[in-house]
Amino acid sequence: MKNSKPLVLVTGASGFVGRHIVPLLKQEGWDVRSAVRRRSGEGDEVVINSLGPTTNWSTALADVDAVVHLAARVHHQREEQAVKTYHDVNIAGTLHLARSAVSNGVSRFIFVSTVLVHGRSNDGHVPFRENDVLTPRGLYGMSKAAAEAGLRNIAEDCAMCVTVIRPPLVYGSGAKGNFAMLVRALKQGVPLPFAGINNHRAFLAVQNLASFILQRLQKADKNFDVFLVADEEQVSTSEFIERLAEAAGIRSRQFRVPAPILSALLRMSGRQEMRDSLMGSLVLDVSKAAATGWQPPVSLDCGLRLALDDSKM
């Protein structure tokens, strides 16, 4: 520890997960330096205009004890530019930050990856485990897998403890993407044809992800370690929607379409990724995380209630 209180640099601090992890870290006795694109005037901030292989991290990493790396490029609309963007930001940018952290004497580095390094589903197979051979799907998943491999190589030659966390879909107040669309559909009373889906999927409340990040900052003791983390319950898509509706105090209005028909319709419409996310199973073996002594502090139902409460930001 370089100061009276440990100092952690959080990239992506103004994003969805960052807005939840920063207050928790402060509450638990950490000084937090936020890497942001635009200053908000709140706390210790350093402006990083872009994340890439030439980013100057010297000011951001001064006196820092640990790094929580949340920032990443998740979506890209122009496919012809996506490969370079994902490489520069998610791979080269991550590895450059890690090497800069090593040079500045940082002791712990937390990298939030994605379960997509395993693929989108494991229908008919055993639950995903940390030591599986990776089969990433999509440019985003492949970029995260490549970043993980690079971090492993960096960790082999330094004293910095690198922890990789592979979360499934993270939900919570302020979440965007599929979760936000689902909330809007439920609140608007849109009928959803998912009552016949009988799968099992892992989800992760943002409070649980933040809790595990904090635990790894406090207890990481290996040069390189990987964890799958999820809520205690892994439920079907239809049950997740039903319980989200219950948390909102509304009726879900789900109806049943035979799974083969729904699957065929999604495939015919070119929505294979959506088909995998809605209908495929994504079951995770989280026994390794549990073996550290960590338990999810928030249940699925509590996490869904918190996700609908905008005051819990």
DSSP codes joined into one string, 114-159: -GGGS-S--TTSPPB-TTSPP---HHHHHHHHHHHHHHHHHHHTSS
Query: Residue type at 232?
Result: E
* Ranges 81-85, 107-111, 170-174, 268-272: which has the least confidence: 268-272
164-177 burial code (b ≥16 CB/10 A, e <16): bbbbbbbbbbbbee
Distance CA 113, CA 164 (A): 6
Q: Which architecture characterizes domain 7-174+202-232+283-299 according to CATH?
A: 3-Layer(aba) Sandwich (3.40)
140 is catalytic: yes
Distance CA 92, CA 96 (A): 6
Residue 276 has pLDDT above 80, yes or no: no
Query: Residue type at 291?
Result: A
**Stretch 250-256: mean pLDDT, rounded?**
92
Q: Hey, what are 235's tokens?
A: 């439920």
* Ranges 60-64, 112-116, 183-187, 267-271: which has the least confidence: 267-271
Q: Hey, what are 223's tokens?
A: 């040069």
The model's pTM is: 0.94
What is the band of 311 on the pLDDT scale with cuts at 50, 70, 90? Answer: very low
Residue 76 has pLDDT above 60, yes or no: no
Pick the catalytic residue from 16, 128, 140, 227: 140
Residue 136 has pLDDT above 90, yes or no: yes
